[in-house]
Amino acid sequence: MILSDLNNKTVGMVLSGGGVRGMGHIGMLKALEERGIEASVISGSSVGALVGALYAGKSDLKDMLAFFKETPLFKYNFLTINKPGLVDTERYYPIFKEYIPFADFESLHKELYVIATNLQKGVEEVFSKGELIMPLLASAALPPVFSPVEMNKMLYADGGIMNNFPSEPLKGKADFIIGSNVSLVREVSKKEISSSLQLAARTTSLMVYAINRQKIRSCDIIFEPVELEHIGVFDKKAIEKAYTIGYDHASRVLDSHLAN
- Model confidence over 24-45: pLDDT tens digits? 999 999 999 999 999 999 999 9
Fold of the CATH domain 10-254: Cytosolic phospholipase A2 catalytic domain (3.40.1090)
Burial of 172 (0-12, 13-18, 19+ CB in 10 A): exposed
Q: How far is CA 28 from the centre of its chain?
A: 12
Whether residue 158 lies in the annotated active site:
yes
Is residue 258's pLDDT more than 80? no
**Which one from 88, 139, 158, 220 is the annotated catalytic residue?**
158
Name the band, by pLDDT with cuts 50, 70 and 90, for residue 206: confident
Q: How far apart are CA 18 and CA 200, in angstroms?
A: 16
Average pLDDT of the residues in 136-142? 96
pLDDT attached to residue 75: 66
Q: What percent of the chain stands above pLDDT 90?
A: 72
Q: Which is it for strands 176-180 and 221-223: parallel, antiparallel or unpaired?
A: parallel
Backbone angles phi, psi at 162, to 5 degrees: -100, -30
Query: What distance in Å separates the CA atoms of residue 28 and residue 246, rounded to the nearest whole number?
Result: 5
Q: How confident is the model at residue 1 (pLDDT cuts 50, 70, 90)?
A: very low
* Per-residue confidence (pLDDT) for residue 2, from 0 to 100: 58
> What single letter denotes the amino acid at residue 4?
S
The DSSP bridge partners found for residue 150 are 155
Give which of 153, 125, 118, 157 is closest to 141, Cα–Cα.
157
Residue ranges covered by each domain of the chain: 10-254
For 207-222, what is the mean pLDDT? 89
| pLDDT, mean over the chain | 92
Between 78 and 201, the higher pLDDT residue: 78
Least confident of 55-59, 83-87, 220-224: 83-87
Which residue in the list 43, 46, 147, 183 is annotated as catalytic?
A: 46
Per the model's pLDDT, the better-predicted residue between 193 and 250 turns out to be: 250
* Amino acid at residue number 174: A
